[in-house]
A and B are shown apart, each in its own frame.
Chain A
């Protein structure tokens, strides 16, 4: 089984700095593999280990993602090879552009049986790319996938929905966006980290992807601001449950919450 797993490399949210005007600085942020994509990588590697084949990690973004530590980090988690589409024009790409670039890269990789993604990106979390990717590749695409089993020539998947678990059988190829609870991602050890430096990395430009049309964004980011911090009220409610509930309701009305 030939699996492609898509991973977004993005600034670590814990390193984001908020300037006094509310704007956000990513200058000092360390870039990492999206936390939701780690589950997709783990699912891909487990499927390969159980059924054979290969795992290609795929990432698209600005030049910044073509960094040796990020490459080693990705490959130390189990994929056999890495394809990077790193161009600064992809900085801040919306889901449509990202999906178009990834779809072209998947076509160029060729003969792919399964594409896995995380449930959303760690920075913007639109949860759109997986489904758009399936549409562009014209293959079945599902999100909220919490279990994948290889069955005959296809896969049997479980989807964790709000009040039920949906079980589906799909032909391959397919695109699946996995949930955070599908597996606990492995932690790379030194052997895997050292091995990662020896695995192949393919750097493709947008021109290499031979897109018929330049990817068109569908979203225009007007501004990005951190919410203003609100002073905590530090209200301590005491009394019997009835009195406390009444008091709480009073505070909520007073604060305009309800």
Chain B
């Protein structure tokens, strides 16, 4: 068993760390968070330094990268600038759907633009009545000659207004099987008939989320991504890597939380000694470090399995479930270690704590992860 990264991975991550320290320092990320501003400049810096090109086919300006390398990138983004890790992770599913199922015309404009610094394509799946039960969606796509007309409402559509496109999922009302009645479309966000309502969230203040109202939005029929009524399996094909990417960003955030806690425990003097000298604090710190190590090992294992072409059907769900909860616990412990300071808006750990909480909900809730993993475990047991 070899836990070492390749030399290329080491050099890439060193370079990325330096880039983030230059272009996305903590002071800037804190300011953007306070102002609820999207990190446009740091995002462009990622494009200018080839990070967004990773994993994109070379004919569209990309550079080959395996899933382990993408995982390391997400982890590093999460550690130094969590919002960038979140944005990058959200983009992984839509961008990979475009790579896998998009027409040449769609690929050329979307992938080329992404490599040059366009925001990721937003994912339009959730609706007011269709959250975890995503297949209960009602948004429609009505074919009209060479065009298609969309109607409906999407919820929790992160980046929708500021991205160039939404990867819109619609339901064929005639279909009896909902999983065989969903289609995937590329919807430009400047299409007439779209209205956006920004939603106020507890965290992710630099990464805006919208409610999108779609009324007679007309686009060319060739904006279909993949096959008509095959949207569900197409979407599922890349949910696993999106969840892994979100996990990796969460691990990075947990590492940052532990670093802040260790530094504080060494500096903060109470009762005449640094608080780190007290066992009660040491136990918390050690538990945080163990969780970080476990989380890291878990994401690397799942990434490695995916690179080997192995199924991660239940492993990815268990990994997401464990990492989301453990990262919440670690960031919560960081707030505890830092006491009053940890609860102040001036310090990073409160932001990590708020931002990480969504990881137990977004990309599939804890409860849905149980629903995915449990039956798979039982199925495997029956086979063996």
Contacts and interface: CB of A to CB of B under 8 A. Distances in A.
Nearest to A69: B7
Contact of A190 (B7, B19, B50): B50
Contacts of B50: 189-192
Contacts of B7: 68-69, 72
A72 B8 contact: yes
Interface string A182-207: 00000111111110010000000000
A189 B53 contact: yes
Contacts of A194: 8, 63-64
A191 B10 CA distance: 14
A132 interface: no
Interface residues of A, number: 14
Interface string B236-257: 0000000000000000000000
A193 B15 CA distance: 10
Contacts of A189: 12, 15, 49-51, 53, 63
A139 B125 CA distance: 69
A190 B18 contact: no
A76 interface: yes
Interface string A67-103: 0110011001000000000000000000000000000
A112 B53 CA distance: 36
A68 B7 CA distance: 8
Nearest to A196: B11
Interface in B1-53: 7-8, 10-12, 15-16, 18-19, 22, 49-51, 53
A190 B50 CA distance: 7
A88 to B, nearest CB: 23
23 contacts: A68-B7, A69-B7, A69-B10, A69-B11, A72-B7, A72-B11, A73-B11, A76-B11, A187-B49, A188-B11, A188-B15, A189-B15, A189-B50, A189-B53, A190-B8, A190-B53, A190-B63, A190-B69, A191-B50, A192-B50, A193-B11, A194-B8, A197-B8
Interface of B: 7-8, 10-12, 15-16, 18-19, 22, 49-51, 53-54, 63-65, 69
B69 to A, nearest CB: 8
Contacts of A187: 15-16, 18-19, 22, 49
Interface in A109-135: none
Nearest to A197: B8
A191 B62 CA distance: 9
Given A73-B11, A191-B50, 11 more contacts: A69-B7, A72-B11, A187-B22, A188-B15, A189-B49, A189-B51, A189-B63, A190-B12, A193-B15, A194-B8, A197-B8
Contacts of A76: 11
B65 A190 contact: yes
Contacts of A193: 8, 11-12, 15
Nearest to A68: B7
A202 to B, nearest CB: 20
Contacts of A192: 50
Nearest to A32: B14
A190 B54 contact: yes
Q: Which of A68, A72, A191 has the most CB of B within 10 A?
A: A191
A194 B65 CA distance: 11
